[in-house]
Amino acid sequence: MQKPILLALGLLAAGPLTAQTVTDTVSIGAGYANQVYYSLSEGPVHTAPTTNWDLAFQANLYGAAIRANHVGGVEVYDPGVDASAWATVLDTNEADTWTAYYNADTAWETGAFDAAGWYTYQGSGLVIGTKVFALKLGDGRYKKLLIDGITNGGSDPAYAIVFRYADVDGSNEVVDTLVKPDYATQNFIYYSLADGAVVAQEPADRATWDLVFTQYLADLGGMPYPVTGVLHNYIAAAPYGGSGTPPNVLVAEVSDVAVEEASDSGQTYASAINTIGYDWKAFNMTKFTYDAVDSLSYFVRAMDGQVYHVAFTGFGGSADGTFIFTKTLMRTTAADDRPGQSSLRLSVYPNPTASSAVTVAYAATEATATLQLHDVLGREVWSGSVTGPTALGTYTLPSLPLRAGTYLLSMQSGTHRVSQRVVLTP
């Protein structure tokens, strides 16, 4: 339900927010068939099948991370073949002698291929692949893969990932190119080898989600094991060449404290994406159900600059993949909590809307602020400025000939910046 603009202004002016606890559920389906991307302020924003993709390439112009879909059955091996020997026929009878590599469960930027050291950096943004990899797919077939490299800014196309894959004997070879600027607002570009195409696995805008409910491989005593849990949206490097807010969700875990008594005062906020993870639940061998761990909860500094208290209360297991949890909006992140953040606030009404002529309610930190509207590819479609008091104000965007879809409206005031997603309907 949309709130009237006066209410939005009232919330902006209200100062500290009154804590209100909401119980929510997220289902990733029977057998954990899906993964669900979730915004703490808006709820689920995107759902996609877990087995939809095989490889994920980092979209950051200067990032080189490549992840494999282990949950989808993809296994990554280094058979010891140099990139110059691409024509070598791989003998799968020797697979048990190959070195296996896995994605890290602590950082999005450390994929299976990064752990294997797949490239050398040539300078000026140019990355060259050095190894031929063997992939075992979810259906049991083997493929060989060579990431030729990532082009630099002077190439045509610039910042493109070039790779090839084939059957282990070299037949059915496919060479493909993914141009990173085409996916400037995403964290990763997801690719299906079976379809030879990009898959819309994650939300088109990295700024729209905080958490992903999913299955993933965890490192349990040196052995990778599939677990079901929650990862958060944090990438260390800024999205060079992209637009919008960098993925900077942080999480503090509070243990051995009753949920209703937990406080984030003095807590350490972590960037490790598995800080929530899977171990907030335990399997009850008597009831054959999952129990939520008592006295364990999390404070999440979300993409929108708010602090939420999250506590899990139940889990349905593989029967329905349902997560049950409470979330409490605690406060707006203070300026000294996160560098670059301030009391700058932004609200848009109506949203969704059939027209770009939305009204913006804002609380600026300086007398002048700039506004920018970007599409999902990071292209600026409109910009403007507002001048007025450093308190509450409103501004109405012009009616623009834009297609239906999701856009990102950003406000910059001094050194501070906030963003709000705007959805245009047909």
Tokens representing 161 are 């990932």
Q: Concatenate the DSSP letters of all residues of 64-114 into one string.
A: --EEE-TTTT-EEEEEEEEGGGTTPPP-GGGGGGSEEE---SS-TT--HHH
* Average pLDDT score, the chain: 86
61 and 40 co-located in one domain:
no
pLDDT greater than 60 at residue 231: yes
365 and 303 co-located in one domain:
no
231 and 295 co-located in one domain:
yes
317 and 253 co-located in one domain:
yes
Residues 73 and 140: their CA atoms lie apart, in Å, by: 8
User: Tell me: the pLDDT tens digits for 175-228?
Assistant: 999 999 999 899 999 999 999 999 999 999 999 999 999 999 998 877 899 999
Answering whether pTM is above 0.85, one says no
In the structure, what pLDDT confidence band is assigned to residue 105 with cuts at 50, 70 and 90? very high
pLDDT for the residue 425: 82
For residue 172, give the 3-state DSSP assignment: coil
Tokens representing 78 are 């280094």
Q: Give me the CATH number covering residue 369.
A: 2.60.40.3080
268 and 174 co-located in one domain:
no
Give the amino acid at 154: G
Residues 256 and 215: their CA atoms lie apart, in Å, by: 26
Q: What is the CA radius of gyration of the chain?
A: 23
User: Tell me: the pLDDT tens digits for 17-39?
Assistant: 345 789 999 999 999 999 999 99
190 and 66 co-located in one domain:
yes
User: Tell me: the pLDDT tens digits for 235-267?
Assistant: 876 666 555 556 789 999 999 999 988 988 888
41 and 77 co-located in one domain:
no
Range of the structural domain that residue 119 is part of = 55-199
pLDDT greater than 90 at residue 87: yes
Tokens representing 7 are 């209410």
**281 burial via Cβ count (<10 Å: 0-12, 13-18, 19+):** buried
Bridge partners of residue 21, in order along the sequence: 328
Does residue 13 fall inside a structural domain?
no
Domain boundary among 199, 220, 255: 199
259 and 316 co-located in one domain:
yes
Does residue 420 fall inside a structural domain?
yes
Domain boundary among 182, 199, 216: 199
Tokens representing 384 are 């403007």
**Percentage of the chain modeled with pLDDT above 90:** 61
* CA distances for 16 relative to 12, 235, 347, angstroms: 10, 29, 16
pLDDT greater than 60 at residue 338: no
CA of residue 126 relative to chain centroid, distance: 25
Tokens representing 374 are 């970007």
Sorted by sequence, the CB contacts under 8 Å of residue 360 that are 6+ apart come out as 346, 347, 348, 371, 394, 395, 396, 397, 409, 411
Does residue 99 fall inside a structural domain?
yes
Tokens representing 333 are 């992140």
In the structure, what pLDDT confidence band is assigned to residue 336 with cuts at 50, 70 and 90? very low
158 and 118 co-located in one domain:
yes
User: Tell me: the pLDDT tens digits for 40-72?
Assistant: 999 999 999 999 999 999 998 888 999 999 999
Q: Concatenate the DSSP letters of all residues of 338-359 into one string.
A: STT--S-EEEEESSSBSSS--E
